[in-house]
Structure 1
Amino acid sequence: MTDDPGDQPENPFKGTPFEQFFGAGGMSGMPDLAGLMNQMQAMMAPHEGSVNWTLAGDIARRAVAENPDPTPSQRETDAVADAVRLADHWLDEACEFPSGVQSTAAWSRAEWVESTREVWKVLVDPVAEHVVAAMGNALPTEAREMAGPLMGMLGKFGGAMFGSQVGAALGGLASEVLTASDIGLPLGPPGRAALVPLNIEAFAEGLNVPADDVRLYLALREAAHQRLFAHVPWLREHLISAVADYGRGIAIDTEGIEEQMRNLNPTDPTGIQEALEGGLFEPRKTPAQEAALLRLETTLALVEGWVDEVVGQATAERMPTASKMQEAVRRRRAAGGPAEDTFAALVGLELRPRRLRDASTLWGSLRSRHGTDGRDSVWLHPDLLPTAADLDDPLGFREEVAEPLTPSGDDFDAELAKLLDEGTEGDASGEPGADDPKE
């Protein structure tokens, strides 16, 4: 027997939700029973909602701690602040929206996890709630009646499983994200432009671009995101409601699960792992979900395409390396990473826009015909946004319109507020919709 970690057998549950609970360790690769009991206690601990977020946070922090994650130095913090300040100055000439930055920050990976967790709750909870409920409803009536009090334990276990997988996904994302708005969603506190210097350093390797240019280009993207979400108040709720709409349509394929379970050998960990990785418990998508996903994917592409277009205009005459940076960011967003794949398998949502290039072309074409005010005024109301069909012909969007949709300059915010107020007054149901601004 040896204490060399390299002699330990590979964890048979690696890559599955059980990896967090059955880590290889101890003699002959047997589970650490003390650690297992602690995990079981954490799983069964009371928690609000359908996700055990305490467990998720613990797992995410442990994942981040597996590699060095130093707190950004004062020099790095100052460099981020200077880059965002210069970025905002350049963007003033490239779009109609004024600055949306209220503060700046340089985050470690652990700080990214903590600073974005509240928004992840809003995004994940609706999906988890409906998955757990659908799993319970999938049981025959007789089985639910016989289960009785055990249904509550099943809910806790479901929340723990979601917490475990969400924590692993967030821990992985923390090692990949470059800024607070890197995936196109407003994850950080409103108005705070944040960069992750450690990840930016890794991203810059091999680009053959000066480190200052890499930081400035990413600061431009972050500041552009901040402008858009600060001055289009319905956009945040529009994106989040698309995720909630997806969650409401969750359906569990019980027949498919039963068929696969009959073919599983409980003594074959490899077969169990392959079944889990193959989506054994993955919900099937309904037509309503497909529509919600299309809406989310299109809006994310429009957000990223607008940022791509605006930053391109801001750097056109100022940054010779901008085209190289633009292509690097486009490829990175299109390909995604392992953590994004994990999140997609968990919730069924793609975090990367597939049609970024089409959206960027559409916004650029609109600017060339109607100027920056005509381009940016499309964000006045969700009904004015391009659709997925418009992305099929990006050069033809609003080709028949001869004048900008709205006034530009100082009147823009006033016209936006007026239109949104009219939409709220006209809602006879009294229920808040996707167009209502929320804090």
Structure 2
Amino acid sequence: MTQFVDWELAASTAATLGGSGPKVTYAVAAETVSELRRLTDEAATHVAEYTGLFPPADLPPVKVVDRADWAAVNIEGLKNLFGTLAPRLTDQQPGFLAGAIGAKVTGAQAGTVLAYLSTKVLGQYEVFSGAPGELLLVAPNISEVQQKLDVDPRDFRLWVCLHEVTHRTQFTAVPWLRDHFLAEIHAYADASKLDGEAFSERARRAFQALSDEKSSILDVIQSPAQKVVVARLTALMTLLEGHAEFVMDGVGPQVVPSVENIRAKFTQRRAGGNPMEKFIRRLLGVDVKMRQYEEGRQFVAAVVGQVGMAGFNKVFTSPETLPHVEELSDPAAWVARVS
């Protein structure tokens, strides 16, 4: 299949436009990396004890990266993702020259979007580049936000680690979850009914939509069948984000002394959620608003309050026990159906 995104151009564009972040000495940078690795291990212990979810012991170590490296990992993941989605959407190919020019345009657009995101993302559990996924922490961004918020460095780093390690725990302690997530994305592609347009053009228009905050990817690619899949993806991603929020707030007061100060200041900073999470949601047509982060947290809190953590963990038994989108606002309905 003809390449429809120039991924090398995307990577070089992201690295150039993303910048390097705050200037620090080598000693400070090395200390930050070392502490983030140590706090990741500490957070993993706290998350496992609090949730009762236990990942395999042989997980890949956390990657503490800079902005360019973060973009490179995500470009590799998007390359894999688009490589599997493209044949499902269409077999049409543009002419060689049109394809080459289109790939350059889309590569530049993708790199520009990822450059912006690389300056905002604090951490991420990346699942597209390969199994079982890998945990990324963006050291310059964590340091920059901590300085801007004027909060305790160690406390803020551990607080971030608690959130991101919870996502890693979700995808690794629940063996079927990653494959199910990818299968839903493939189902979304299979439901596409856009005929007569080369996939390279769709990809180009998709990245244009992603760079326009007023536009939704659903304005570019949608069908009634896809809306059904979108509802399932919305429920799944809201659950996972709400669970991470609930765990972070549950563990935080025990191990992060200044957590209330951090949470208050960070909430003011947050606009629509984790930037990469927002990017993936828009890419998939799941344009979840801020209220759904809170809806997910409230769902988890209500279920744990009714049936305890072990009862809540039944949500991870199989795809059939995941909440339906309407159950997110009616936790008792999920309890009645599953518990």
TM-score range, shorter chain: 0.7 to 0.9
String of CA shifts for 1:248-284, please: whole Å, max 9, x gaps: 3445599xxxxxxxxxxxxxxxxxx9xx9687x9634
Structure-1 separation of matches of 2:147 and 2:21:
18
1:329–1:98 distance in 2 versus 1, CA, 3 Å = farther
Task: Write 1 or 2 for the structure with the bigger share of helix.
Answer: 2
Structure 1 gaps, min length 5: 1-46, 138-149, 255-272, 406-439
Which letter does structure 1 place at the counterpart of 2:66?
Answer: S
User: Does structure 1 retain, via aligned residues, the 8 Å contact 2:40–2:62?
Assistant: yes
User: Does structure 2 retain, via aligned residues, the 8 Å contact 1:113–1:174?
Assistant: yes
Matches within 5 A, 1:304-383: 304-326=241-263, 335-336=272-273, 348=285, 350=287, 355-383=292-320
**Match among 154, 173, 192 for residue 98 of structure 2:** 154
Structure-2 separation of matches of 1:337 and 1:95:
22
What residue in structure 1 maps to residue 50 of structure 2? 94
Q: Which SS does the other structure have where 1:317 is aligned?
A: helix
Q: Does the alignment pair 1:225 with 2:181?
A: no
1:157–1:353 distance in 2 versus 1, CA, 3 Å = farther
User: Does structure 2 retain, via aligned residues, the 8 Å contact 1:180–1:188?
Assistant: no
What residue in structure 2 maps to residue 169 of structure 1? 113
User: Does structure 2 retain, via aligned residues, the 8 Å contact 1:221–1:308?
Assistant: yes
1:337–1:63 distance in 2 versus 1, CA, 3 Å = farther
Which letter does structure 2 place at the counterpart of 1:107?
Answer: V
Which letter does structure 2 place at the counterpart of 1:118?
Answer: E
Which letter does structure 1 place at the counterpart of 2:82?
Answer: V
What residue in structure 2 maps to residue 186 of structure 1? 127
Structure 2 gaps, min length 5: 197-207
Q: Give TM-score, length-normalised by structure 2.
A: 0.78
1:372–1:187 distance in 2 versus 1, CA, 3 Å = same
Which letter does structure 1 place at the counterpart of 2:315?
Answer: V
User: Does structure 2 retain, via aligned residues, the 8 Å contact 1:304–1:353?
Assistant: no
Matches within 5 A, 1:185-264: 186=127, 190=132, 192-251=134-193
Flag the structure with larger Rg: 1
Q: CA deviation at 1:343?
A: 7.1
Structure-1 separation of matches of 2:296 and 2:328:
6
Matches within 5 A, 1:285-296: 285-296=222-233
Pairwise CA RMSD: 3.8
Matches within 5 A, 1:20-59: 49-59=3-13
Which letter does structure 2 place at the counterpart of 1:389?
Answer: E
Q: Give TM-score, length-normalised by structure 1.
A: 0.62
Q: Which has the higher contact order (CA 8 A, sep 6+)?
A: 2
Give % identity. 24
User: Does structure 1 retain, via aligned residues, the 8 Å contact 2:33–2:64?
Assistant: yes
1:331–1:245 distance in 2 versus 1, CA, 3 Å = farther
1:325–1:350 distance in 2 versus 1, CA, 3 Å = farther
Which letter does structure 2 place at the counterpart of 1:335?
Answer: G
1:228–1:293 distance in 2 versus 1, CA, 3 Å = same
Structure-2 separation of matches of 1:129 and 1:62:
31
Q: Does the alignment pair 1:109 with 2:89?
A: no
What residue in structure 1 maps to residue 33 of structure 2? 77
